[in-house]
């Protein structure tokens, strides 16, 4: 408050519940302040303090093939399905895992969901009812870090802390080949090629390998280049390139056959890269990082095409493009899922206020402008669910969208009152 006492009061007034005496008495006198467009409370909550609970952090997100639903896996051991238009929960929570859910994916027809857990099992769920359709699949002797369906939906690949890749029949749970071995440390990420003939894996041993999906033989690799753990891998839609993200804070694009570097390393993230994915046309790459941001890169040049998108209050653990390439979904340790417009590039501002996707919220809760000037203060309850200009929706109990079109601030703050 010492920094800007008037701004604190003027920022807080729009957040006052609609039925509160503060709102009833003062709101009409201040027409030129920001408005809470969505998420305003009707009554004061029992507590305005937000207590972090890492058990609810989001570890994995994926979009359905039709782009209408998002599935999430969480620290709280559950899977949930969300509507991408409304942000409402469509199904779940699906329960059954006895430890955190590290990886989730939709089947190609969108009817099933596969999940991998630190309880060392894999389960297949009905995406509508949440009923277990197959599993739990057992056999992994370490936590399951990554799972994916084959393009025909008949098989599931998993990567585990036991250093192996395993191939499963998606209906029976029987293993279809002996465990693929070769990595010297835990397997963090696995993916099928578009034709289903190959599997790519990334490991804490800092390498990437390509495997024959039938025999389990290594077809290419190990590819080296990263100087720290490989956390995420994906194959381009044409099957010709592999993208990888690492604790070394970089992203590499490799030729899937030769292992030669085709692009990168892409630099810009200031902390570990946790998740990477290609756009449906293979022209862009999205990444999520421990630096709390999401970036969109040109897959050929490594130039930043959009972002960094800010808004998450903790590590971004998972990112994915929508099937039409227009949106990006992200999941974070902050317990929020955000849906972004992927095409905004140099992100739009709202009205004349310097509130953008890049605006940071400092430790005291102030949204800061591009020159670190204090724009407005956000109560603790609403910080995690705050929309950025490019957000389509944000999951969570306290989702909130601001309208700053009539908001006066800075040197003009005194004109916000009726005189």
Contact (Cβ atoms closer than 8 angstroms) between residue 351 and residue 336: no
**Assessment of whether the complete model's pTM goes beyond 0.85:** no
Mean pLDDT calculated for residue range 384-399:
67
As a whole number of Å, the end-to-end CA separation of the chain is: 25
Rounded to whole angstroms, the Cα distance separating 264 from 243 reads 10
Give yes or no for residue 134 having a pLDDT over 70.
yes
| 265 CB burial (10 A radius; 0-12, 13-18, 19+) | middle
Place of tokens 């329960």: 95
Rounded to whole angstroms, the Cα distance separating 146 from 18 reads 45
Is the pLDDT higher at 416 or at 110?
110
DSSP state of 417: S
pLDDT-derived band at 346, boundaries 50, 70, 90? very low
pLDDT in tens, 212-221: 999 999 999 8
Give yes or no for residue 322 having a pLDDT over 90.
yes
Contact (Cβ atoms closer than 8 angstroms) between residue 340 and residue 287: no
Rounded to whole angstroms, the Cα distance separating 245 from 146 reads 14
pLDDT in tens, 238-280: 999 999 999 999 999 999 998 899 998 999 999 999 999 999 9
pLDDT-derived band at 339, boundaries 50, 70, 90? confident
Residue extents of the structural domains in the chain: 54-341
Give yes or no for residue 347 having a pLDDT over 60.
no
Rounded to whole angstroms, the Cα distance separating 62 from 114 reads 11
Give the Å distances, CA to CA, from 233 to 53, 220, 280, 330, 345: 28, 15, 15, 16, 24
pLDDT in tens, 76-127: 999 999 988 877 889 989 999 999 999 999 999 999 999 999 999 999 999 9
Rounded to whole angstroms, the Cα distance separating 233 from 190 reads 7
Residue 398, number of CB atoms within 10 A of its CB: 18
Contact (Cβ atoms closer than 8 angstroms) between residue 75 and residue 54: yes
Of residues 117, 144, 135, 148, the one with CA closest to residue 174: 135
Share of the chain above pLDDT 70, in %: 78
Is the pLDDT higher at 344 or at 83?
83
The two three-digit tokens of residue 331, written as one number: 């999941």
Question: How is domain 54-341 classified at the CATH fold level?
Answer: Methylamine Dehydrogenase; Chain H (2.130.10)
Give the Å distances, CA to CA, from 220 to 94, 167, 182, 411: 38, 18, 12, 61
Mean pLDDT calculated for residue range 341-367:
59
pLDDT at 7: 57
Of residues 19, 53, 12, the one with CA closest to residue 397: 53
Rounded to whole angstroms, the Cα distance separating 135 from 140 reads 13
Report helix, strand or coil for 48.
coil
Mean pLDDT calculated for residue range 353-359:
61
Give yes or no for residue 61 having a pLDDT over 60.
yes
Share of the chain above pLDDT 90, in %: 59
pLDDT at 50: 28
Give yes or no for residue 380 having a pLDDT over 90.
no
The two three-digit tokens of residue 318, written as one number: 């998972």
pLDDT at 9: 55
Rounded to whole angstroms, the Cα distance separating 223 from 208 reads 5
Report helix, strand or coil for 26.
helix
Place of tokens 């804490």: 204
């Amino acid at each position: 408050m010492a920094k800007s006492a008037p701004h604190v009061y003027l920022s807080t007034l729009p957040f006052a519940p609609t039925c509160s005496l503060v709102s009833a008495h003062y709101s009409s006198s201040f027409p030129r302040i920001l408005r809470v467009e969505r998420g305003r409370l009707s009554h004061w909550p029992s507590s305005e303090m937000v207590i972090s609970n890492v058990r609810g952090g989001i570890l994995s997100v994926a979009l359905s093939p039709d782009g209408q639903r998002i599935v999430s896996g969480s620290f709280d051991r559950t899977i949930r399905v969300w509507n991408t238009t409304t942000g409402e929960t469509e199904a779940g929570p699906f329960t059954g895992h006895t430890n955190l859910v590290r990886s989730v994916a939709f089947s190609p027809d969108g009817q099933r969901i596969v999940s991998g857990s630190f309880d060392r099992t894999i389960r297949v769920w009905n995406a509508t009812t949440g009923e277990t359709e197959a599993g739990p699949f057992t056999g992994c002797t370490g936590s399951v870090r990554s799972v994916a369906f084959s393009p025909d939906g008949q098989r599931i690949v998993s990567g585990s802390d036991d250093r192996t890749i395993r191939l499963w029949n998606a209906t029976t749970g029987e293993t279809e080949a002996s465990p693929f071995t070769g990595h010297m440390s835990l397997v963090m990420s696995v993916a099928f090629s578009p034709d289903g003939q190959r599997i790519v894996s990334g490991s804490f041993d800092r390498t990437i390998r390509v495997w024959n999906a039938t025999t389990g033989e290594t077809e290419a690799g190990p590819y080296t280049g990263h100087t720290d753990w490989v956390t995420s891998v994906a194959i381009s839609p044409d099957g010709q390139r592999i993208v990888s993200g690492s604790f070394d804070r970089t992203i590499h694009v490799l030729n899937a056959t030769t292992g030669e570097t085709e692009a990168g390393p892409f630099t810009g993230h200031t902390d570990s890269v946790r998740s990477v994915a290609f756009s449906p046309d293979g022209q862009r790459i999205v990444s999520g990082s421990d630096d709390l941001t999401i970036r969109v890169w040109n897959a050929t040049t490594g130039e930043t095409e959009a972002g960094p998108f800010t808004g998450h209050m903790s590590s971004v653990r998972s990112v994915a493009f929508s099937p039409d390439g227009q949106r990006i979904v992200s999941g974070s340790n902050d317990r929020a899922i955000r849906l972004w417009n992927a095409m905004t590039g140099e992100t739009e501002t709202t009205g004349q206020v310097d509130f953008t996707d890049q605006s940071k919220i400092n430790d005291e809760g102030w949204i800061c402008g591009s020159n670190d000037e204090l724009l407005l203060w956000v109560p603790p309850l609403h910080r995690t669910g705050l929309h950025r200009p490019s957000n389509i929706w944000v999951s969570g109990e306290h989702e909130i969208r601001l309208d700053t079109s009539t908001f006066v601030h800075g040197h003009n703050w005194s004109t916000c009152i009726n005189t």
